[in-house]
Amino acid sequence: MNENIARVLINKKAVTLNAKHPFTFVSGIRSPIYCDNRQMIAYPGEREQIVDAFINEFQDYDFDIVAGTATAGIPWASWISDKLNKPMSYIRGAKKGHGAGNQIEGAMVSGKRVIVIEDLISTGGSSFCAVEAIRDAGGSSVAVVALFTYDFKKATKIFKEGDCKLLTITNFSTLVKVAKNDGILSDKELSLVLTWNKDPQNWGPKHGFPNANKG
């Protein structure tokens, strides 16, 4: 996994780590990591590094179209398709409720091989919905390529069972180890943080950080 890109995400605070005062997700679970890769579109030099890393990740794959997931994958797909001189599409989470009712906009994917660009893989559900949308439209998804993944087992399972390749530039364990090497996390904090993605639902209560009641 790409340690340089992990360091870029940390330095630009697209990913923040805090083992002492964990973040609270919308679901109410507590997390020592908060990811907002949308921050990276603000930095031209670093985003060029990320675009090159995306292209390097899928360089061995043949495809016709670059498709970004709405909304966070769209800017990356735009820069990638421009650099490669490839047609581009973007994929909504669901079909529009008005007009033509399209879920996929831009280049027609029917009969085409598509690379799907995503900024973050969490449980993998929404990303795999993009794969299903492509298949429903008569295309084939060569792979989903993401900037970062939490490495949840659920996401791995979804893509394996769905027979779709999942590629990621960098991941959770790589990022926290870079944070340790750069003095952001202590040895104790590293050990604590590395247990989070194995059981995120129970990580907080187990370590003295009760989950929030979102009921």
Helix (H, G, I), strand (E, B) or coil at 192: helix
Q: What is the mean pLDDT of residues 123-145?
A: 96
Q: What residues have CB less than 8 Å from 50, skipping those under 6 apart?
A: 5, 8, 40, 76, 147, 169
Region 85-106: what's the mean pLDDT? 83
* Average pLDDT taken over every residue of the chain: 94
pLDDT band of residue 98 (cuts 50, 70, 90) is low
Burial class (CB in 10 A: 0-12, 13-18, 19+), 87: middle
The answer to whether residue 100 scores a pLDDT higher than 70 is no
d(CA 38, CA 73): 9
- Report whether 134 contacts 102 (CB < 8 A): no
What are the pLDDT digits (tens) for 187-215?
999 999 999 999 999 999 999 999 997 65
- Segment 95-113 shows an average pLDDT of 83
Name the pLDDT band for 26 (thresholds 50, 70, 90): confident
Q: Is the pLDDT of residue 179 over 60?
A: yes
* Look-up of token digits 């031209």: 44
Span 36-66, pLDDT tens digits: 999 999 999 999 999 999 999 999 999 999 9
**Res. 35: pLDDT tops 60:** yes
Q: Would you say residue 151 has pLDDT above 80?
A: yes
pLDDT score of 99 = 54
Distance of CA 132 to CAs 16, 97, 104, 127, 180, Å? 32, 18, 11, 9, 38
Q: What is the pLDDT of residue 93?
A: 83
Structural domains of the chain, ranges and CATH numbers in brackets: 3-206 (3.40.50.2020)
Segment 160-176, tens digit of pLDDT: 999 999 999 999 999 99
Specify which residues 118 forms β-bridges with.
Answer: 146
Q: What is the pLDDT of residue 94?
A: 79
